[in-house]
């Protein structure tokens, strides 16, 4: 029996920050009446400014998303909020009117599902906005409020708009009061939120800072309630490091696989990677890795969890919480392409942050949340082509989606590994150096002698000779090959 939703093994995720993706018109009379007074789309984002992207704009670009091979979307929060990122939730049962309201989400789910695209929403359950109705009740009524036990209040009057917060808040930010999830009414409220949107038609939840609800029983009940509504719903947590506590089969299906992303950046980026920029973000200080150290990191991650969980991990390089990929790699186009391509060959579901596919730049928050560029003449077409090509390859090769990982060769900047599933095997060769490399790879019984192979990306031939895969032509600098038997 599968521990995780089957569809996730075949998923390629696209992450969208709704305010920055696209402005769509939407039907007349629907929510989101605002048409002006937004920040200019092309201007550098500000911490508080809105650019006016909405769900109608996403609907208009679903064909673009699908054509690039993405069959799942993870949305940053979309519920009513006073912040452009919407991690300050004021109403968990209402899609923000600026995004188009509940009707826009309903239409988006219908249109996405018609195209075979799944929809995963962001659940911010640890904390809410100080504009949330329950917190507002305390602001108005003080110690007489019936909602006192919904939060951790230390004194009155509440310092919600001046001075240090005298209540528990996320990172002591007074805008974000922390729920008291030991109160049964709060638990029931939040779990009903989870059920409501699954019933509405979404395909899963990404859980924001779930480790800060330090209560296994809450997440176990969350899983039971969600899976009762849809057994194939995906539950993925934002855990940045070792996640064994939450991946025992009774809480989350998977996590956002930041450790894998850091390893890929350390291997492909090498000394080109802007380590100081990464260190000032959630990525932390990234170590440069040679091939053997990189492979050891991968093997440790793959051994850490049940294989069914490994193939459902949300693998990513960057997100709304990190600098942009091409900026981290100092605008090195070849390394950017290689890092993204490698992501598509590893166990787990790849995820690409909107704009990374066209080389959108950006440093620290809020600069990493720029408006998507829709002028094609400004796109980095080689990255786009790699994304499209790798998606087709992954979709056409079940072994890349479900196959085990076996290291074959690792030295300096050269790595070769096999993906093996049932009676099929592919060999991936990775060259992270600036010189060509003519691979001679020990196959360790993966394929028989005397057979011919071909790189599915370039068409370059190779032969299996004396237990080795021997390429006829060198692998170009900063590139990879995916070899299959003829």
- Note the pLDDT of residue 449: 66
Q: Are 471 and 459 in contact (CB under 8 A)?
A: no
Dihedral sign, Cα of residue 104, residue 233, residue 396, residue 17 = positive
CA gap 224, 251 in Å, rounded: 9
What are the DSSP calls for 230-265, one per residue?
-TT-EEEE---S--GGG-SSSS-SEEEEHHHHHHHI
- The pLDDT score that the predictor gives to residue 486 is 81
Considering only CA atoms, which of 356, 345, 334, 341 is closest in space to residue 433? 334
- CA 421 vs. chain centroid, Å, equals 25
- In the block, tokens 């992270």 appear at 432
From 175, 203, 208, 356, active-site residue:
208
Per-residue pLDDT of the chain in tens (486 residues, 90 and over written 9): 578 999 999 999 999 999 999 999 887 656 555 667 899 999 999 999 999 999 999 999 999 999 999 999 999 999 999 999 999 999 999 999 999 999 999 999 999 999 999 999 999 999 999 999 999 999 999 999 999 999 999 999 999 999 999 999 999 999 999 999 999 999 999 999 999 999 999 999 999 999 999 999 999 999 999 999 999 999 999 999 999 999 999 999 999 999 999 999 999 999 999 999 999 999 999 999 999 999 999 999 999 999 999 999 999 999 999 999 999 999 999 999 999 999 999 999 999 999 999 999 999 999 999 999 999 999 999 999 999 999 999 999 999 999 999 999 999 999 999 999 998 999 999 999 999 999 999 999 888 766 899 999 999 999 998 889 999 999 999 999 999 998
Q: How far is CA 94 from CA 72, 273, 388, in A?
A: 22, 41, 35
Q: Would you say 460 and 453 are in contact if contact means Cβ atoms under 8 Å apart?
A: no
Q: How far does CA 438 lie from the centroid of its chain?
A: 34
Distance CA(120)–CA(133), nearest Å, equals: 25
- Residue 99's contacts (CB-CB under 8 Å, 6 or more residues apart) are 18, 19, 31, 32, 53, 54, 55, 78, 105
* Separation between Cα atoms, residue 72 and residue 45, nearest integer Å: 26
* Rounded CA separation 70/66 (Å): 5
Domains of the chain plus CATH, in order, are 6-126+179-396 (3.20.20.80), 403-485 (2.60.40.1180)
In angstroms, how far is CA 465 from the centroid of its own chain?
41
User: Among the options 122, 238, 332, 356, which is catalytic?
Assistant: 238
**Is 238 among the catalytic positions?**
yes
Q: pTM of the full predicted structure?
A: 0.97
Contact 354, 372 (CB under 8 A): yes
SS3 (DSSP) at 430: strand
The predicted structure's pLDDT at residue 465 = 86
Task: Identify each DSSP E strand in 48-117 by its residue range.
Answer: 72-75, 79-81, 89-95
Alpha-carbon gap, residue 273 to 262, rounded angstroms: 11
SS3 track for 155-207 = CCCCCCCCCCCCECEHHHCCCCEEECCCCHHHHHHHHHHHHHHHHHCCCEEEE
Taking the C-alpha atoms of residue 327 and residue 356, their distance in angstroms, rounded to an integer, is 10
CA distances from 15 to 104, 265, 306, 321 (A): 18, 19, 25, 12
Angle made by CA atoms 143, 147, 151, in degrees to the nearest 5 = 90
Q: How far is CA 242 from the centre of its chain?
A: 17
Distances from the Cα of 231 to the Cα of 74, 122, 228, angstroms: 19, 18, 6
Report how many helices (DSSP H) and strands (DSSP E) the chain contains, helices first: 15, 18
């Amino acid at each position: 029996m599968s521990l995780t939703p089957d569809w996730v093994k075949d998923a390629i995720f696209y992450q969208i920050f709704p305010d920055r993706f696209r402005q769509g018109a939407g039907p007349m009379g629907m929510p989101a009446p605002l048409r002006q007074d937004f920040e200019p789309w092309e201007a550098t984002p500000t911490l508080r400014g809105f650019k006016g992207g909405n769900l109608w704009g996403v609907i208009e670009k679903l064909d673009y998303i699908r054509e690039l091979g993405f069959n799942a979307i993870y949305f940053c929060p979309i519920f009513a909020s006073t912040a452009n990122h919407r991690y300050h939730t004021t109403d968990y049962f209402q899609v923000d009117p600026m995004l188009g309201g509940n009707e826009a989400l309903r239409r988006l789910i219908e249109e996405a599902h018609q195209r075979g695209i799944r929809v995963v929403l962001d659940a911010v359950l640890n904390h809410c906005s100080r504009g949330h109705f329950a917190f507002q009740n305390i602001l108005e009524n003080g110690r007489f409020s019936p909602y006192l036990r919904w939060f951790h209040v230390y004194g009155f009057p509440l310092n919600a708009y001046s001075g240090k917060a005298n209540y528990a808040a996320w990172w002591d930010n007074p805008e974000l009061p922390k729920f008291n999830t030991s109160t049964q009414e709060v638990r029931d409220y939040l779990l009903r939120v989870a059920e409501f949107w699954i019933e509405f038609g979404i395909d899963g939840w990404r859980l924001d800072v779930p480790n800060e609800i330090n209560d296994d029983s809450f997440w176990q009940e969350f899983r039971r309630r969600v899976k009762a509504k849809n057994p194939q719903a995906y539950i993925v947590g934002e855990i940045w490091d070792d996640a064994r506590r939450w991946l025992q089969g009774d809480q989350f299906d998977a996590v956002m696989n930041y450790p894998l992303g850091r390893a890929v950046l350390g291997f492909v980026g090498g000394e080109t990677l802007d380590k100081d920029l990464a260190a000032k973000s959630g990525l932390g200080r990234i170590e440069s890795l040679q091939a053997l150290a990189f492979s050891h990191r991968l093997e440790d991650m793959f051994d850490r969890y049940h294989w069914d969980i490994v193939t459902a991990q949300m693998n990513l390089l960057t997100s709304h919480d990190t600098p942009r990929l091409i900026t981290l790699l100092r605008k090195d186009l070849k390394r950017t392409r290689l890092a993204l391509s490698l992501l598509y060959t590893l166990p787990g579901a790849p995820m690409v942050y909107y704009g990374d596919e066209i080389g959108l730049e950006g440093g620290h928050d809020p600069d990493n949340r720029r408006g998507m560029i829709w002028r094609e003449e400004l796109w980095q077409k080689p990255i786009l082509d790699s994304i499209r090509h790798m998606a087709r390859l992954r979709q056409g090769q079940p072994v890349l989606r479900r196959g085990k990982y076996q290291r074959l060769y690792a030295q300096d900047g050269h790595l070769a590994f096999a993906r093996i599933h049932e009676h099929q095997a592919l060999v991936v060769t990775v060259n992270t150096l600036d010189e060509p490399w003519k691979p001679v790879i020990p196959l360790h019984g993966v394929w028989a002698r005397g057979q011919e192979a071909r790189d599915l990306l370039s068409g370059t031939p190779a032969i299996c000779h004396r237990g080795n895969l021997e390429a006829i032509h060198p692998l170009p600098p900063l590139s990879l090959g995916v070899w299959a038997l003829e």
